[in-house]
Amino acid sequence: MTNNVVTNPVRPKESTYQIDGMTCQGCVKRVHAALVPFAETVTVNLNPPLAVLTHLKAYHYTQLFPSNRPCPCQQ
Distances (CA, A) of 21 to 7, 31, 58, 70: 43, 11, 25, 8
| Count of beta carbons in the 10 Å neighbourhood of residue 31 | 24
Please name the residues in contact with 55: beta carbons below 8 A apart, sequence gap of 6 or more.
Answer: 12, 13, 15, 38, 39, 40
pTM of the model: 0.71
pLDDT tens-digit series, residues 3-58:
666 555 667 889 898 988 888 998 899 889 988 988 899 999 999 999 999 988 87
Residue extents of the structural domains in the chain: 13-62
